Structure 1
Amino acid sequence: MIVFEFKVKAKSAQYAAIDEAIRTAQFVRNKCLRYWMDNQGINKYDLNKYCRVLAKEFSFAAELNSQARQSSAERAWSAISRFYENCRNKFKSPKGFPRFKKNCRSVEYKTSGWKLSENRKAITFTDKKRIGRLKLKGTYDLNFYQLDQIKRVRLVRRADGYYAQFAVKADLRIKTKPTGRAIGLDLGIKYFLADSNGKTEKSPKFYRCCERQLSRANRKKSKKYRRGAKLQSKNYHKSRKRYARKHLRVSRQRKEYCKRVAYSVIQSNDLVAYVDAPAACRRLDLNVKGLVRNRHLSKSISDAGWSTFRRWLEYFGHKYGKVTVAVPPQYTSQDCPKCHHRVKKSLSQRTHVCGNCGFVEDRDIAASLNILQKGLSTAGHVGNYAWGDLTSWAVGAILSSNGESENQESSSIV
């Protein structure tokens, strides 16, 4: 599944219609979640049937395309099924009980409710929300694909405008010449990554570099906020959007950096072994969402972009036919890569010194050597990705499970 994104150009009335469609999709999703809470034994198909009940009961819900309502119900069921899966797997951290959405930014259509123009440079939405014809601005060419290959169309609201995303079912495989090389990667905070060849990549720290600008924009926004006012002034909303655009710029810089590094790694190697969580934070259950609860490292962890890098690494590995292996992280920074003697060290110790064989190496590089050894030992069953889960970018056809469609701003600033 490939996701193409175009910026949307329209009139202010059409933007307002898109906002109304997004609010309706949020309403349907929350009502389906409430229906599941109030009734036992509800499954995915019951939620799809409930969408028809909502359309009969609420006129504004009937104005939204029927398959768009079903997509909202599928979003609710995605949260429910993830909660069930975490309970079955006895997840240590909070199980993630489904919550009601407050600030949705997208509405998703399936194969109906929209129509592309002949030159594929505009799209017209045919439901009763009166969105109408939208111009598509971008460099991608949809003429290479048939209309039946487009499985989803999504309208997304971001801080700098509105976007249309197209999920196209196509073969991603590209044949490349084998390089005969394998590499192990260890992600961290001091270095973005350290590989088993002894090379390191410095962390760009995009958020740290723009922190003063973000703080200044946040102060300006706060000065224009009126406590207790039912409606804020136009100047406040201008400052809020300006602050959100700065955050969006930082997130895009981080994404492009992770994309470039992942592409370079995949093109240079036939097998890439990596670990889900960096050695600096392995005591916190290997969950990035849980890792950021560490108040000493949370800002640096969020600024690193480990999850984004992993998604792009797996995506490029699938596209170019390379093997990517996620290995268990236990003791990769403690064991000696030469004699496998366990040398315990604190986070402040950045050099690995083995008292058994005398091997001395940088801590992160030594960890990458251990990761490579584990990756080579599990390369025979990489289809399970050493954890029993699918790749993070290929969970399903719904755009919310792809890396391209993640929310790129905080819900509190948009």
Structure 2
Amino acid sequence: MPVVFEFKAKGKAAQYTAIDEAIRTGQFIRNKCLRLWMDVKATSRNDLYKHCKVLAHQFPFAKKLNSTARQAMSERTWASISRFYENCKKKVPGKKGYPQFKHNSRSVEYKQSGWKLSPNRKQITFTDKIGIGKLKLKGTWDLHFYQIKQIKRVRLIKRADGYYVQFLIDTELTQKVEATGHNVGLDVGLKEFYTDSDGNTEPNPRFYRKSEKRLKFYQRRVSRKKKGSANRKKAINKLGRVHLKISRQREEHAKRVARCVVLSNDVVAYEDLRIKNLVKNHCLAKSINDAGWYQFRKWLEYFGSKFGKATVAVNPAYTSQNCSNCETTVKKSLSTRTHVCKCGCELDSPKATLRERDHNAAINILSLAIGTVGHTGTLLIERNASGDSTSTEVDASQSQQVGS
């Protein structure tokens, strides 16, 4: 499982200008490769590789960029094309993600050439003709633990608060931890970040909501500046810094909570939510995006793989409606937060009247996943026509998966 280490890049103004030039050149190559695919029928991945070499001969500024960096940009183009083909093949409802031209790229990627690390692994020198030169690496990661050949990619990223260097390292970061003998089901929500099958909850931090007033202030400052002026660029940068802080807060919160959940349980079950469909509800879209459910699931799966714990994605259908005690369907609207069943089911949790619905759903999620305790890795639990639960791997092909 490859890992990514990130460092802050420190250099001179001329070097930052060269990084911007490298990013623009990479964007140019990507758009030219996409144009070739649009204009020439049956264009393959190898054709895009060959086109990079043609572009280097046609445009002198493109030749300055390292050849593997040009190839990496063509690979990005092909990744968007193949994703579009995959969505068409699976007949994904709605838009299929037709590849679009990039207008504001913020990164460029090198493979295993075009750069060189210093002996103390605290500086990196880019050796192509773009003119980036030597950059200091500021960060806490120690690259001495890894061989140079293990570094498969080096990525330069421009953000609102500066420039960063990422290293993609091919290594196995696994850690053995003792079994806890406890399993948990999680029902994510907007009022509470999640409610587990034991009745415990994690508060929703709402980072975006708390920063909305500040965002509006900087947005007004941007709108008042003249387009194309230096003051407008400064205002845009300050606005971008606020957005960057919010995204980092959300990511760190999801990482911290996911790590605690995985270390405390042997099996973690959660809903296989389609966030793309949920945000179509314009009344809830802002709150759903602010909650960061996707980041939470991503880190659950990462830490599950790292610590050897089972993470199970469950089909969310009827998990809130069905009674966790007698499996009777108790219909509820979205505003109904309590669970009242004829069987007299009572959920023993603090402030139960506020969380009965979510607690009931979490118990159902765990019940669906409990049959796959012997499996490891990320699994997807679905119900078949007879009502029984079946498990398939998330990355299995559509023909192998059991229909819900």
Q: Same fold (TM over 0.5)?
A: yes
1:304 is aligned, of 291, 297, 306, to 291
What secondary structure, in the 3-state scheme, does the structure 2 residue paired with 1:370 have?
helix
Deviation at 1:250, TM superposition (A): 0.8
Q: Does 1:269 align with 2:265?
A: yes
Deviation at 1:238, TM superposition (A): 1.1
In the other structure, the counterpart of 2:246 is 250
Aligned residues: 376
1:239 is aligned, of 219, 235, 239, to 235
**Aligned alpha-carbon RMSD (Å):** 1.4
In the other structure, the counterpart of 1:183 is 184
Q: Aligned partner of 2:59: which letter? A: F
In structure 2, distance between residues paired with 1:276 and 1:255: 19
In structure 2, distance between residues paired with 1:263 and 1:381: 20
In the other structure, the counterpart of 2:79 is 78
Structure with more contact order per residue of length (Cα contacts < 8 Å, sep ≥ 6) = 1
Q: How does 1:282-297 map to 2 (within 5 A)?
A: 286=274, 288-297=275-284
Say whether the 8 Å CA contact 2:34–2:101 is kept in structure 1. yes
Q: How does 1:223-238 map to 2 (within 5 A)?
A: 223-226=224-227, 232-238=228-234
In the other structure, the counterpart of 1:323 is 310
Q: Aligned partner of 1:73: which letter? A: S
Q: Aligned partner of 1:249: which letter? A: K
In the other structure, the counterpart of 2:321 is 334
Q: Aligned partner of 2:334: which letter? A: L
Deviation at 1:388, TM superposition (A): 4.4
In the other structure, the counterpart of 2:107 is 106
1:389 is aligned, of 365, 377, 394, to 394
Deviation at 1:354, TM superposition (A): 1.4
In structure 2, distance between residues paired with 1:89 and 1:290: 16
In structure 2, distance between residues paired with 1:93 and 1:259: 31
Q: How does 1:95-244 map to 2 (within 5 A)?
A: 95-226=96-227, 232-244=228-240
Deviation at 1:206, TM superposition (A): 0.6
Q: Does 1:353 align with 2:358?
A: no
Say whether the 8 Å CA contact 2:186–2:197 is kept in structure 1. yes
Stretches of structure 2 lacking an aligned partner (at least 5 in a row): 348-355, 381-391, 397-404
Q: 1:384 to 1:182 in 2, by over 3 A?
A: closer
Q: Aligned partner of 2:300: which letter? A: L
Deviation at 1:87, TM superposition (A): 1.0
Q: Aligned partner of 1:306: which letter? A: W
Deviation at 1:384, TM superposition (A): 6.4
What secondary structure, in the 3-state scheme, does the structure 2 residue paired with 1:385 have?
strand
Deviation at 1:222, TM superposition (A): 1.2
Deviation at 1:346, TM superposition (A): 0.4
In structure 1, distance between residues paired with 2:229 and 2:46: 44
Say whether the 8 Å CA contact 1:3–1:168 is kept in structure 2. yes
In the other structure, the counterpart of 1:375 is 369
In structure 2, distance between residues paired with 1:161 and 1:369: 45
Say whether the 8 Å CA contact 1:189–1:203 is kept in structure 2. yes
In the other structure, the counterpart of 2:399 is none
What secondary structure, in the 3-state scheme, does the structure 2 residue paired with 1:353 have?
coil
What secondary structure, in the 3-state scheme, does the structure 1 residue paired with 2:313 have?
strand
In structure 2, distance between residues paired with 1:33 and 1:359: 58
Say whether the 8 Å CA contact 1:172–1:318 is kept in structure 2. no
Structure 1 consecutive aligned stretches of length 4 or more whose deviation exceeds 6 Å: none
Q: Aligned partner of 2:314: which letter? A: V
What secondary structure, in the 3-state scheme, does the structure 2 residue paired with 1:120 have?
coil
In structure 1, distance between residues paired with 2:376 and 2:395: 10
Deviation at 1:164, TM superposition (A): 0.1
Q: Does 1:52 align with 2:53?
A: yes
Deviation at 1:380, TM superposition (A): 5.1
Say whether the 8 Å CA contact 2:188–2:195 is kept in structure 1. yes
Deviation at 1:327, TM superposition (A): 1.1
Deviation at 1:323, TM superposition (A): 0.6
In structure 1, distance between residues paired with 2:192 and 2:116: 47
Q: Aligned partner of 1:270: which letter? A: D
Deviation at 1:233, TM superposition (A): 2.0
In structure 2, distance between residues paired with 1:141 and 1:384: 30
In structure 2, distance between residues paired with 1:248 and 1:139: 20
Deviation at 1:53, TM superposition (A): 1.1
What secondary structure, in the 3-state scheme, does the structure 1 residue paired with 2:339 have?
strand
In structure 1, distance between residues paired with 2:344 and 2:48: 63
In structure 1, distance between residues paired with 2:305 and 2:393: 17
Deviation at 1:383, TM superposition (A): 5.2
Identity between Structure 1 and Structure 2 (%):
57
C-alpha offsets along residues 131-181 of structure 1, whole Å, 9 cap, x if unaligned? 100000011110111000100000000000000000111111101111111
Say whether the 8 Å CA contact 1:114–1:125 is kept in structure 2. yes
In the other structure, the counterpart of 1:407 is none
In structure 2, distance between residues paired with 1:352 and 1:86: 38
